[in-house]
Amino acid sequence: MSLFKVDSLLIFCMTNKIALVTCYFQPNYGSQLQAFATQKFFDDIHVPNETIMIDGLKGEINKAKYKYFLSKIFDANTIKDKWATVKKVIAKKSNHTYASHLVERYNMFDTFAQHEFHLSKRYGSFTELGKAANDYQMFVVGSDQLWLPSNIAANYYTLNFVPREVPKMALATSFGISQLPSAQAKLAKEFLPRIDYCSVREVSGQKLIKNLIGRDVPVVCDPTILFTAEEWGEGISKERFIKEKYLLCYFLGNNPIQREFVKKVKDLTGYKIVQLQHCDEFIASDENFPDEAPYNVGPKEFIRLIRDAEYVFTDSFHCSVFSMLHAKKFFPFRRYNNDSIVSTNGRIYSLLSLVGEEKRLLKGDEEPKDMLAMDIDYTKVHERLAELRQFTKNFVFDALEKSGIKYDRD
């Protein structure tokens, strides 16, 4: 069966489902693909499931997030982090071409969400969802950065609305950062003990939980790693999205030195630069950086662009994941200074260290010729990913068995 094929008839006949609490709705490649991978994994082991529809809950979530950000209005790091959002709003209002491009991209995400996820009914509040929680066999939260401080403050991905008697699993959930502010650390001490089966995506998250509540939790792989490149290729066009040879750039941060690095590689190779632009913020200097900047790119096209690139340059965790799955020559960069409180560099470093490739994490001031000469032993990388994949599956199997939930291991 195709990786991307959803049997809607089966879904409506399901009973005793588990509930998936994921970030499926965000116009972000990694968010949608990890949410889809989570769903697909449970589909494959024949555990009936549905993803909780976010629509009726957004009001409560956003209200709590606004309150959190207002409390941080004088915090320099928060202002710097949110300035990217402000710039994007300003650019949309002043640049009609950019605004229309964003609509094109967002439509691709909406189409993917509508066709690839089987969603729950609409719940109008946390209270309503909490009352329905006993209709589910288990709640699973994760993966992605669902335990960022703002998300903890929003109190959705904490699963606090789920009654104690309903089993709860955190699957490769990420804090995104290595240290929580004091207020969110206090909240974490309250909700983390309620998670019956807890796992995290990064070593930094493992250490954070140990320091907060003294609990040892396993580091498991991101759900996107649960499938091989061949399995991801099922249901995705084999045709090249870009016909010519190219260098793929997917930068979420604004670091000019990294663009200069790519330009030098272009001079050395002669390959054109293809960039997915303005994904987290509008970066004016990127307007004249690439040779091509497609916007008709949804999650499936994202995988195709990585698959067919000669080289990949990124500061994105999930772009790094798919680069490794597809055995690409790729260059992961630091998005932040390591001393920044909002730094999420740890996510990529943890990923690279798990496969023994942490030396590949670059700043941008390295010599391109030297970096191009660095080989990746993908036999060892894929062996390590296979081990992580099985370890993660065993974690889930154990949680399901202890919760009395039937599944098909084969």
Domain layout of the chain by residue ranges: 8-62+112-228+386-402, 235-380
Rounded mean pLDDT for each run of 10 residues along the chain, 410 residues in total: 54 69 96 98 98 97 94 75 80 92 97 96 97 97 93 97 98 92 97 98 94 97 98 95 98 94 98 96 95 98 98 96 97 74 66 91 93 94 97 98 93
- Which H or E element spans position 11? helix 8-13
Name which of 263, 328, 319, 236 is nearest 34 in CA terms: 319
pLDDT of residue 339: 47
Residue 303 and residue 286 in contact, taking contact as beta carbons nearer than 8 Å: no
Look at residues 335, 332, 328 and name the one whose alpha carbon lies nearest to residue 352: 332
CB 21 within 8 A of CB 157: yes
| Whether the bond into 340 is cis, omega within 30 of 0 | no
**What is the distance between the alpha carbons of residues 332 and 27, in angstroms, rounded to a whole number?**
22
Residue linked to tokens 């330009």: 263
Q: Which helix (H) or strand (E) holds 275?
A: strand 272-275
Residue 8's pLDDT is: 43
Quick one: pLDDT at residue 5?
A: 57
Assign a CATH topology to domain 8-62+112-228+386-402.
Answer: Rossmann fold (3.40.50)
- Give 280-335 as a DSSP string: SS--GGGGGS-SB------HHHHHHHHHH-SEEEES-HHHHHHHHHTT-EEEEB--
**Cβ pair 115, 108 in contact under 8 A:** no
Give the global pTM: 0.92
CB atoms within 10 A of CB 268: 11
**DSSP-derived secondary structure for 208-227:** HHHHHH-----B---GGGGS
Is residue 80 within 8 A of residue 342, CB to CB? The reply is: yes
Which ranges of 326-367 does DSSP label H, i.e. alpha helix?
345-354
Q: Confirm whether 8-62+112-228+386-402 and 235-380 share one CATH topology.
A: yes
Question: Looking at residue 16, what is its pLDDT?
Answer: 84
Identify the bridge partners of residue 80 per DSSP, sorted by sequence position: none
Identify the CATH assignment for 235-380 out of 3.40.50.2000, 3.30.465.10, 3.40.50.150, 3.30.2320.30: 3.40.50.2000
Residues 156, 21: Cα–Cα separation, whole Å: 9
